[in-house]
Every structure is written in C-alpha cells, then in structure tokens.
A and B are shown apart, each in its own frame.
Chain A
Amino acid sequence: MQLKDKVAWITGGGAGIGRATALRFAKEGACLVLGDLDEAGLQETVAAVEAAGGQAAAVAGDITHRDDAERMAAVALERFGRLDILINNAGINRDGLAVKVKDGQVRLMGDEMWDPVLAVNLKGTFLCAQAAAVPMILRGLGGRVVNTSSIGALGNVGQANYAASKAGVIGLTKTLALEWARFNITVNCVAPGATDTRMTAGIPEKLMEGLLAKIPLHRLAQPEEIAEAHLFLASDAAAYVTGQVLFVDGGISVGV
C-alpha cells in the first residue's frame, strides 16, 4: 500500500476525477478528507470509499472562501491527526468566446463567466495550498501538494477564462515548489487532457471526433488514469520530483 497511514485532502471529491482519486487513494491505505460544493456527490463518494473499506470525512464548502478552505484542512487534523497530501482538484469551466460578433451584434465574455472560473481554479487552488502547507510546515515532516492544470493552459478557443486560470496554476505550482522545498514539501501539477467526465459530456459529437483525431492515443482519458498520476506524484516514488507539470493527455500536448 503506497499511502499507508497517510492523510490526503482532495478538493472536488464529489464527482469525476476527484472521486476516482479518492477511491484510488483509499485502496492504497490513505485516510481522506473530501471537499466539494456538492453535498450529495460528496456523500456518494464517502459511501463508495467506505464500501471499499476506506475512511473518508466529507466537508461541504466553497474553496474560493478562505474560511472554507481552512475548515477542510482543520477537519483533516481533527479527524485524522495530520495532513500529508493535498490534491487540489476542484475546478470549473464556463466556455465562450472572449468577443463574439454575429449579425452585427457584439457579445463579450462577461464578468459572470470570467470571475468564477478564476476564483475557483486559481484562487481556490492558492487558498487550499496555503491551508494545507501550514500544518505540514509546523509538523516538519514534509508533504505533497498536487495541483490541477490542464492542456487548456496551452490555449483553447472558447476558454480564455479557463486557459488563464490553468496557466496560472502552473506559475503558482512552480513558485510554491520553490518556496516550500526547504520544508520537504513537493509541489507539482497534473495537466489532464480531455477526460471522460461531466466536463466533456456536453461536447457535440462532431467536435469530439475532431478532438479524438488530434490525440495520438485516439481516446479520452478516464478519470482513473488521472487518479493514477495523482497517486504517483503523492507517492514516495516521486520524492525527487517537484515544480513539474505532468501531462496526462494521450499525447495531445505534443502538438497536432
């Protein structure tokens, strides 16, 4: 068991990649704190983890609020006595063109699309990383932070907000890696390609065909495959890896 006696906090644990990571980590012996806005989804994940013989505490909350992020970290300490790993997984997208002109009508990506995406994906990642690092640094036994970027960070039509947030996560990851190395906390990020979750469920078939044609492995990632990358970066096998971006994308970031 690769994470025996470790305590991991996973944000966005109510569905998709977060749930797959929770189940994978539980299988490796980790105790879990799961955060999400979606309480029902969280309860489903907790039930699935417990059914598999694992332990998980659910904390409903909004990671864009500092108090909520700190509360999730506090639950790890209260319930399990320590915090070893943070998987900063929660994220959202609200797609649209930055400027759309059609039939003489101008439509802009508004604040209501820009602000929440930056707030969750970038500020939320920062707040959770801070909240996790404090107990890790005070305890003095190191730790692991794994953030979530995306191939979207390389730029994607209709995702100005999402791409900016995910490119920001890369800069944040490298900076925190530099700042926290002295505490033996490694900070890396996973950059998934298109993954088979509800985020990609709405992609029209035509668009999906074009997308698959660009992926050298010719398929979407499964959430379980991203979970494996989380596990690798959280495990002792990655002890000397820090400040890195691990693309799990079937080769799409290599280019078309």
Chain B
Amino acid sequence: MSEQVDERLAPATPGLLQDKVALVTGASMGIGEAIALDLAANGAHVAFTYRTHAAEAGAVAGRIEQCSRRALALQADVASFEDAQRVIQQAQGGLGRLDILINNAGMNWDAVVWKMTEEQWDRVIEVDLKGTFNYLHAVAPVFKEQGSGKIVNVTSINGLRGKFGQSNYSAAKGGVIALTKTAARELGRYNVNVNSVAPGLIETPMVKQAPEQVREMALAEIVLGRLGTPEEVAHVVSFLCSEAARHITGQVIQVDGGQYM
C-alpha cells in the first residue's frame, strides 16, 4: 500500500438519536464500548451490561455521562435467560423507557472441530446465539406494545463465510443472522426494525494482542488495506438505529473494508 489512507472518522451527528434510550449488551470494552459511546454522542441515554469488568464498565458509564447523557451499568451474563428479563426491566425502570437494543456481547473460544470440546461448543453458542435470543425475547413485548423499536445484532463476517478454528463461533454468528431475519419478519408489523452488522477484523484490545501473523493474514484479505476501528462499526450501528434507516430491516451490513465479498 503506497497510498495514504484517509481515516475520515465520522463526527457524531448531534440529535440523530436525541433522548432515545438504548441498551447495549457487553459494552465494557471493544466494539460494545464504542457503540455505547457513539449512541451517547448522538444523543441517546445508554444502559449497558458487563459480565466481569466492573471497573471498565464504570469508566464507560463516566464517559457517557460526560456527553451529558444518562448511563446505567448492569452486571449480567447474557447467556442467562433470567438476567435478560431483569436487565430489560432495570433499563426501563432506570432510564424511563427503551427504544433501542444492541445485542453486542459475544465471545470466541477457538479450536478445530476435532479438538473442540463440548464445553467450548456449548458456551459459545450460549453466549453468542442464545444470548441474542434472550434479549430479543425480553425486549419484544416492550417494542410491540409501544409500536416502535430498533434492534441491531452484532454478528461477524465469519457467520457468513465460516472460519478455520471457529465452528462454534461461525455457527453462532450464522444463527444470529437467521434470527435477525426471522425477528424482522415477526416484528415488522409493529414498526420494529431488526438488522445486523457483520464486522471484519476490527482493531480491538483483543486483536491488538493477537500474533502479528493473524493481523497480516487479515490485512491481505481486506481490500481497504487496514483494520477497521470499533468506532467505524459503531457509526453504522447508530445509522441503523436512526430514523434515516427506517425502511431497512432484516439486513446484514458488513463493516469489513471489503474483507469478505
């Protein structure tokens, strides 16, 4: 790559999501953190879940409040059906209403299929796929009742193409895409949009620590010649949550710099 890359990070659009209330799962770091902060920068109050990183969650809440938006950090394991019911109630109770749900929490635990343990399979499916269902299920009555709502599920390009060593993760993320399309059909008549974003390799703390070889292999695939940033994923999520995207539903938007076409 000889050409200079113009990062052109988008500024927030004040008022895009003015006074909406959002819930983001798994927002103590990485893409979830960027989504929570971008929603706040666009005017939304934000509740979010974290599982173990309480200190990081506190810092994220502080940064949301710096945008003069209300923040609510809630401890939860997205794999827990009961936690999801509680979190939706606490978010509504704490912030007064709920307009937006971002199913972001996810994990990977890689192994080739012949070495993958039952525990590895079950845990990743529970977090990535069942976790998304848990929150869809809990929020659906709320959005149906009010006749509006925006849901964005974070999937992955690996849910579209499969990935060596990620049978559990790819299956879960592929499942999230089918879940997105089904929920879009079921909730369309209630004026609820359900979409997903599929990031490619994104410059998160986890990826920064990955072996150089992993980055190089991904860079060879990415036509824009650079990793994406969490903020670049967050901008697309905010767009899908805005009224500008009101006629978009059931879609998978890849944010991958052309990594998988």
Contact = CB atoms under 8 A, between A and B. Distances in A.
Interface of A: 2, 140-142, 174, 177-178, 181-184, 186, 193, 215-218, 221-222, 225-226, 228-229, 231-232, 235-244, 246-251, 253-255
19 contacts: A174-B261, A182-B1, A216-B250, A217-B249, A229-B244, A235-B10, A237-B238, A239-B232, A239-B235, A240-B232, A240-B233, A242-B258, A243-B254, A243-B261, A246-B251, A250-B249, A251-B250, A254-B185, A254-B250
A215, A240, A246 — most chain B CB neighbours (10 Å)? A240
Contact of B253 (A217, A236, A244, A251): A244
B241 to A, nearest CB: 12
Contacts of B225: 181-182
Given A240-B232, A251-B250, 8 more contacts: A184-B5, A216-B185, A218-B189, A229-B245, A239-B235, A240-B256, A242-B224, A243-B261
Contact of A250 (B5, B11, B188, B239): B188
B13 interface: yes
B123 interface: no
Contacts of B232: 239-240
Interface in B25-51: none
B254 to A, nearest CB: 5
B247 to A, nearest CB: 4
B191 to A, nearest CB: 7
Contacts of A255: 181
Contacts, number: 128
A181 B224 contact: yes
A66 B1 CA distance: 31
B246 interface: yes
B191 A217 contact: yes
A240 B261 contact: no
A138 to B, nearest CB: 12
